A and B are shown apart, each in its own frame.
Chain A
């Protein structure tokens, strides 16, 4: 391993990382310069190319957290690798919800004239963000790795129930936030081909970025667990030797 290489990287993650970086450059070029301005929103629509993929990745991250948590709880061989994937995925999901809230707020200032309103979609998204901050805090509580895995898995299965509430909040309640445009067959809004392409490019790029980040982060957490476990073994051995001396 060279001094500049990362201990959590492999040939596959490096290839994925370079592909993601290339797509990111492409996305920025298309999002900021190539794609057309919207008839109604004007250039403000360019914020959508990072805002929509951000909340998409957050949803994917929290669903993955719940799925691997369920696998951990239901499996006969309760591997802590599932727990670490859940932790990594939730952490990345929190980052992307925060990005979605900030970019949405900037878009809202230009479109609605205000950074924030206590609208159903915005409020439920903020609540989702706080819930997963709580999830990460629970992961940080003391106890054994197994205790951490069990309690956070249960919490992940409860927290994921908020996602349908956030997604359908614009349908359930009267909301200032618009309904889905692309994934809604009932709307008469038609997106320009290049705008639709840029949006999908954003979703593909962010999804690849998410996969790359989860792979690295869960390996980092595995290293942390290994070092913590080793530290615990050393401490127990020292206590044992101290007791023998007395």
Chain B
């Protein structure tokens, strides 16, 4: 594949940044949930 570093780099940037963001907000939710009551989670 020509220009492989640019092409693979664009996929790494895309899925890497999405993965980092997802991990960040899931960890944050998990730590916040420890201080929340069950009634604050109506979706469960």
Binding site for B on A (CB under 8 A): 1, 6-8, 10, 24, 28, 31-32, 42-44, 46-47, 50-51, 54, 92, 95, 98-99, 102-103, 106-107, 109-110, 209, 213, 216-217, 219-220, 222-224, 226-227, 230
Contacts and interface: CB of A to CB of B under 8 A. Distances in A.
A50 B44 contact: no
A192 B1 CA distance: 19
A81 to B, nearest CB: 10
Q: Which of A8, A51, A222, A224 has the most CB of B within 10 A?
A: A8
Contact of A7 (B6, B9, B18, B41): B41
A7 B14 contact: no
Given A7-B30, A7-B41, A209-B18, A28 B10 contact: no
Contact of A103 (B2, B14, B22, B30): B14
B40 A222 contact: yes
Given A1-B44, A47-B7, A223 B21 contact: no
**Secondary structure dominating the interface of B:** helix
Given A7-B30, A106-B9, A50 B3 contact: no
A223 B10 contact: no
B31 to A, nearest CB: 10
B42 to A, nearest CB: 9
9 contacts: A7-B29, A8-B43, A43-B7, A109-B6, A110-B6, A220-B32, A223-B29, A223-B41, A226-B36
Interface in B1-19: 1-4, 6-11, 13-15, 17-18
A220 B29 contact: yes
Contacts of B36: 7, 223, 226-227, 230
A34 to B, nearest CB: 12
Contact of B33 (A7, A98, A99, A107): A7
Q: Which of B7, B8, B22, B30 has the most CB of A within 10 A?
A: B7
B34 to A, nearest CB: 9
B14 A99 contact: yes
Contacts of A42: 2-3
Nearest to A88: B25
Contact of B29 (A8, A43, A103): A8
The 8 A-B residue pairs with the shortest CB-CB distance in the complex, in nearest-first order: A7-B33, A220-B29, A226-B40, A103-B10, A50-B14, A223-B32, A47-B10, A227-B35
